[in-house]
């Protein structure tokens, strides 16, 4: 996790959190797709902003504006199976409640994620295998958040038991997991 104090909002904040998810879930850095110089260390995740903002409603005031942003995510490797596997693992991480909490704390939610697919172009020339997917983020509000104060440690909780009360007789029900 970065210790530098930075205030971010909207899509830049979503990309900052995506960097942390990628580091923890697949041990890859995230860089812009149109980077220079070329990639030196593989594997790596590239992002390309496809749609920066699409309003979800015209009914908003001030900092409470809601919109979606679409980002193309590609995992590059010199080996096809590694690119494919890491792409699938990042896809799964963006569906994992432990990582979704990273986004939820700042009112951002990975929303629609396309299936992973082979996006390799000119493999013989570039020796670069590429698998990826598109991800839309629902962004609620434009409030700036101090990134050093974000909780970016993966935590997965298991529900071991549930206790409820029967509405009819008021008797406790134990529906413990066996």
Q: What is the pLDDT of residue 46?
A: 94
Confidence tier at 101 by pLDDT (50, 70, 90): very high
102 Cβ contact list (under 8 Å, min separation 6): 17, 20, 21, 150, 151, 152
Which phi and psi angles does 24 have, rounded to 5°? -80, -40
Partner residues linked to 137 by β-bridges: 69, 110
Average pLDDT over residues 49-75: 86
The predicted structure's pLDDT at residue 19: 97
User: What are 131-170's pLDDT values in tens digits?
Assistant: 999 999 999 988 899 999 999 999 877 666 766 666 666 6
Task: Indicate if the pLDDT at residue 11 is higher than 60.
Answer: yes
Beta strands in the chain (DSSP E): 7-8, 30-32, 44-55, 66-77, 108-113, 117-118, 129-140, 145-146, 163-165, 172-174
Peptide bond into 166 cis (omega under 30): no
pLDDT, residue 127, reads: 76
Q: Which pLDDT does position 1 carry in this prediction?
A: 42
Q: Residue 2: which pLDDT band, with cuts at 50, 70 and 90?
A: very low
The residue among 62 and 80 whose pLDDT is bigger is 80
Least confident of 49-58, 62-71, 137-146, 151-160: 151-160
Asked if omega into 3 is within 30° of 0 (cis), the reply is no
pLDDT band at 39 (very low <50, low <70, confident <90, very high): confident
State the chain's mean pLDDT as an integer.
Answer: 86
């Amino acid at each position: 996790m970065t210790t530098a104090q930075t205030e971010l909002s909207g899509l830049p904040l979503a990309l900052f959190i995506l960097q942390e998810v990628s580091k923890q879930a697949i041990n890859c850095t995230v860089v812009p797709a149109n980077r220079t110089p070329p990639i030196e260390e593989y594997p790596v995740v590239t992002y390309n902003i496809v749609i920066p903002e699409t309003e979800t409603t015209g009914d908003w005031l001030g900092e409470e504006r809601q919109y979606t942003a679409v980002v193309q995510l590609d995992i590059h490797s010199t080996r096809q199976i590694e690119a494919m596997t890491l792409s699938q693992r990042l896809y799964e991480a963006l569906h994992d409640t432990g990582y979704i909490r990273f986004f939820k704390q700042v009112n951002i939610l990975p929303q629609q994620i396309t299936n992973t697919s082979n996006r390799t172009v000119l493999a013989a020339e570039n020796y670069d295998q590429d698998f990826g997917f598109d991800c839309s983020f629902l962004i609620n509000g434009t409030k700036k958040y101090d990134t050093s104060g974000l909780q970016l440690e993966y935590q997965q909780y298991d529900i071991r038991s549930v206790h409820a009360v029967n509405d009819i007789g008021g008797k406790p029900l134990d529906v413990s997991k066996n």
